[in-house]
């Protein structure tokens, strides 16, 4: 939904979509391991990866993943900036979700 609204706005105003060359899944892994694993392991056991692999997971596309990472970040007071959240989402998309679309965050 957010992506659609932003793309429409960019189209109407004639602005171009910015490049996201700065997205770094490696940095995302570091942030994920530092802030997410302990909570997920507490809730799901093991290393917490069952959070992403469970049959009833709520993330089915990149938009949902971006929203979930932002929500978790806010709820757990990570102190992450939007770029940090994009890096974590890129890591999760690459490592666990493997969406058919490219690992590129929605424009802000």
Mean pLDDT of the chain: 81
What is the average per-residue pLDDT within 78-104?
A: 87
| pTM confidence score | 0.72
pLDDT of residue 2: 57
Question: Which tens digit of pLDDT belongs to each residue from 39-90?
Answer: 899 988 999 888 888 888 889 999 999 999 999 999 999 999 999 999 999 9
Please state the domain extents for the chain. 21-97
Confidence band (pLDDT; 50, 70, 90) for 15? Answer: very low
* Angle in degrees, CA 50, 73, 56, rounded to 5: 30
Does 17 have pLDDT greater than 50? no
Which residues have CB under 8 Å from 10's CB, separation 6+? 16, 17, 107
Which pLDDT value is given to residue 18?
43
């Amino acid at each position: 939904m957010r992506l659609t609204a932003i793309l429409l706005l960019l189209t109407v105003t004639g602005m171009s979509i910015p490049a996201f060359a700065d997205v770094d899944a490696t940095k995302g892994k570091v942030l994920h391991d530092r802030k997410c694993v302990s909570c997920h392991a507490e809730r799901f056991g093991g290393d917490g990866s069952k959070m992403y692999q469970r049959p009833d997971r709520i993330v089915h596309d990149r938009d949902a993943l971006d929203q979930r990472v932002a929500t978790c970040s806010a709820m757990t007071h990570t102190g992450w900036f939007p770029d940090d959240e994009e890096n974590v989402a890129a890591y999760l998309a690459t490592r666990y979700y493997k969406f058919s679309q490219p690992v590129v965050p929605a424009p802000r």
